[in-house]
Amino acid sequence: MRILVLHESKFERMGYERAFDHGEHDVVYAGNADRLGNIPARIRCGKLELAPGLPVVDQLRPWLREQSPFDRIFARRELLIMPAAELREEFGIPGMRPATALRFRDKVVMKEVLAREGIRVPRWFPVAAMPEQSPWSGKVVVKPRDANASRGIFVCDDYAGARELIAERSREPGFVERYEIEEYLDGPVCAIDGFLFRGEPVAVQVARYVGTCLDYEDGRPSGTVQYDAPDLEKWACECVRALGGETVTFHLEAIMTADGPAFLEVAARGGGGHLGEMLFRRSGVHLHTVDMATDVRGELATDLIAEPAPELYYGDFLFPGHVYAGAPVSVTVPSELLADPVLVTHRIHPEGAPTTTDPGYEPEHLAFAGMIAGPDPDELESWLTRLFASITVVPR
């Protein structure tokens, strides 16, 4: 089998080496020089360097026309889901097509589909179709239809404020077409990560946010803690199936309102930070590895599923680095927290080293990040709250 991987992650984090045999299959990794450089030298593969900032499809289309046909294209990062789908359709390669990928990328489209299925979603309008009069009372969220990780989101106090913001931003090319408004719903936000095989759940795990992705984007720490919520897991799977997901990894976010869950958004990839590792430790399923191996084999890769360990719940914490715009930082962590057995793993940004300008969730790019574990989710959440109040990050 010939496999093309759109590579924008750490090689070992994606589990490519376990997902398919590089000696048996002809594998080509396409990515920028930095990402290609993290592929171990022992791996038998081809490498295609892509220019950063240029459309992936435009770079790969002429190259693919000159190659022997590929049997699979893998993309494990959200911004590569649609390019991979477009290339599959154009070159007749099995896998997710653009019509389905759009339902996992465009926040207006996904809400339209789910609302027709009777699943609760916040009220919304594309910016291009906003009504003159306020469609609801209270706060209004102005957000990109296709962004991830809460980037580019504004929360306005009321509809008048949203209209004023949009009038100012509408001068920017593409703003009107790319943005939507959404009803602000009050309540905790949860992440549901999982993998479906032919519509049936293989592994699904709920985690509640301590802090939010929007907090993180604004420079404040954020974290998650796993907990048991079978009804919410079932509901999330219903959402994914309604969007056309049959054999797919997903990361779905929901708002837990007083009247039950409301859909927020979903992506056809695993969650960021430590969510993938947390799910693996609790369920035995490494989402990236099992998903890709199942795709290559055409059957569920049960041999790659480890024994679950449900006696522990896991959580994580993320202190952003991108808000320091490349400046070095000094991170102060109380020694008793670092010695606490609750702490499974952690990384402190090296003293004097520049921070990243990438607003992603990769732990090696953050000021301070780590994972915790224990038998009681409430105690883990309390531990994170103490941690957030105890850490200082000072730019130098």
The residue out of 146, 164, 183 marking a domain boundary is: 183
Rounded to two decimals, what is the model's pTM?
0.95
Task: Say whether both 267 and 311 belong to one domain.
Answer: yes
Yes or no: say if 35 and 55 are a contact pair by the CB < 8 Å rule: no
Q: Two tokens at 27?
A: 């594998």
**Rounded distance, CA 28 to CA 315, Å?**
35
C-beta of residue 1 within 8 angstroms of C-beta of residue 296: yes
Q: Are residues 163 and 248 in the same domain?
A: no
Helix residue spans in the chain (DSSP H): 11-14, 16-19, 33-36, 56-65, 81-91, 98-103, 107-116, 159-169, 175-178, 213-217, 230-242, 275-283, 287-297, 335-338, 377-390
127 with 220, same domain: the answer is no
DSSP state of 21: -
Please determine, for residue 335, whether its predicted confidence score (pLDDT) is greater than 80.
Answer: yes
Q: Verify that 380 and 248 share a domain, yes or no.
A: yes
Say yes or no: 143 and 267 in one domain: no
Clarify whether residues 253 and 309 are in a common domain. Answer: yes
Query: Would residue 355 count as lying in a domain?
Result: yes
Boundaries of domain holding 177: 123-183
By CB atoms closer than 10 A (0-12, 13-18, 19+), residue 155 is middle
| Cβ(196)–Cβ(294) below 8 Å | no
| Residue 7 reports pLDDT greater than 70 | yes
pLDDT at 38 over 70: yes
| Total number of domains constituting the chain | 3
- Confidence at residue 63, expressed as pLDDT on a 0 to 100 scale: 98
Q: What is the mean pLDDT of residues 162-168?
A: 96
Domain termination site, one of 95, 113, 134: 95
Sheet holding 200-210, edge to edge: 260-267, 248-257, 189-197, 200-210, 222-227, 313-319, 368-374, 343-348
Predicted pLDDT at 149: 63
In a domain, 389, yes or no: yes
Q: How far are the Cα atoms of 184, 185, 281 from residue 139, in angstroms, in the given order?
A: 5, 8, 38
Whether 38 maps to a domain, the answer reads yes
Interatomic CA distance for residues 48 and 33, integer angstroms: 9
In a domain, 344, yes or no: yes
Checking if the pLDDT of 364 tops 90, the result is no
User: First-to-last CA distance in the chain?
Assistant: 51
Q: Which of 57, 79, 95 is the last residue in one of the domains? A: 95
Kindly state whether residues 278 and 143 are assigned to the same domain: no
Question: Does a structural domain hold residue 115?
Answer: no
Q: Bin 174: left if φ > 0, else alpha if -120 < ψ < 50, else beta.
A: left
* Mean pLDDT, residues 109-137: 96
Same domain membership, residue 353 and residue 208? yes
pLDDT one-digit tens code per residue, 246-288:
999 999 999 999 999 999 999 999 999 999 999 999 999 999 9
Q: What is the mean pLDDT of residues 25-30?
A: 98
pLDDT in tens, 79-101: 999 999 999 999 999 999 999 99
> Is the pLDDT score of 359 beyond 90?
no
159 and 206 assigned to the same domain? no
331 is a domain residue: yes
Question: Do both 350 and 266 map to the same domain?
Answer: yes
CATH value at residue 13: 3.40.50.20
In a domain, 113, yes or no: no
Do both 154 and 195 map to the same domain? no
Q: What integer is the mean pLDDT of 26-50?
A: 97
| Domain containing residue 304: CATH number | 3.30.470.20
CATH of the domain at 145: 3.30.1490
- Residues 87 and 149 grouped into a single domain: no
* pLDDT of 226: 98
Mean pLDDT of 109-116: 98
Domain assignment present for residue 100? The answer is: no
Note the pLDDT of residue 56.
97
